[in-house]
Amino acid sequence: MDRLTDVPERLARSADLARVNDYDSFAEAYSAENEHNLVNAYYARPAMLDLAGDVAGRRILDAGCGSGPLSAALRDRGAVVTGIDTSAGMLALAKRRLGDDADVHQVDLRDHLPFDDGAFDDVVSSLVLHYLEDWGPTLAELRRVLRPGGRLIASVDHPIVAYTIQEPRPDYFATTSYTFDWSFGGQTVPMKFWRKPLHAMIDAFTSADFRLSTISEPQPDPAARELFPDGFHDLSAKPCFLFFVVEVPPSATDSDDQ
């Protein structure tokens, strides 16, 4: 799901975790805020689209589609898009954006996916995996629904950012949770993510039989320079998110040769 945030300094420790990550409770405000903000509209989504490249005619699963901005952008580029998300509120907004006949489903990424083996050419998962402590079952399912040669394009909080915002600092080499509040539109909501060291992320992909293609630390869209001059400078000089492209080997033989 597309992440709402500014630079890391906005993150604060959260004391109230009773309704942690409850997107249904702030779907409208979240969607409105992330539509045109710096980090989502001029950094995370453009980076995902750039990594996806030419998607015309490709069958794409948007895993954690939220209110559908990335799905809409991929569809505008000619892709055939299916969206899944855990939040009914966000999916209602996605249908409003994409049309009532949009192919969207309420699905928890920790569960079995309701799609056939090899159903998709690509999976995009924008700022979603860091909600999960254990990536293994989710990556196994995403690999299953990708055809041989298919791609998973994913982004997560950069592990250095998630490490440095915590005091005292956690063990970098361990998988650790971190909590904070998002404040926007007059609402404050508690969030919880999981931080993994880089090697653990790569190990998770390779253990799921993906082949690493690209690791990217992109710059924001230059169009944001005039719109967000202060934020643009900060985002250009500090890590924020980390982007991966991993591929399903074209054949079982290629998989065995990794």
The answer, yes or no, to whether residue 115 has pLDDT greater than 70, is yes
> Within its chain, how far is the Cα of 198 from the centroid?
16
Given pLDDT bands bounded at 50, 70 and 90, which one contains residue 51? Answer: very high
Mean pLDDT of 12-21: 56
Q: How many beta carbons lie within 10 A of that of residue 212, not counting itself?
A: 14
The answer, yes or no, to whether residue 205 has pLDDT greater than 90, is yes
Mean pLDDT of 139-143: 98
Q: What is the pLDDT of residue 1?
A: 55
Task: Kindly write down the DSSP assignment for every residue of 152-219, as one continuous string.
Answer: EEEEEE-HHHHHHTSSS---TTS-EEEEEEEEETTEEEEEEEEE--HHHHHHHHHHTT-EEEEEE-PP
Given pLDDT bands bounded at 50, 70 and 90, which one contains residue 165? Answer: confident
Output the average pLDDT for the chain: 90
β-pair type (80-85, 59-63)? parallel
Four-way CATH pick for 38-158+196-247: 1.10.940.10, 2.60.40.10, 3.90.1300.10, 3.40.50.150: 3.40.50.150
Q: What is the pLDDT of residue 185?
A: 73
Mean pLDDT of 116-127: 98
Q: How far apart are alpha carbons 54 and 77 in whole angstroms?
A: 8
pTM of the model: 0.90
In the chain, domain spans: 38-158+196-247
Q: What is the pLDDT of residue 83?
A: 98
Q: How many beta carbons lie within 10 A of that of residue 219, not counting itself?
A: 13
Mean pLDDT of 178-200: 90
Percentage of the chain surpassing pLDDT 90? Answer: 80
Q: What is the pLDDT of residue 15?
A: 37
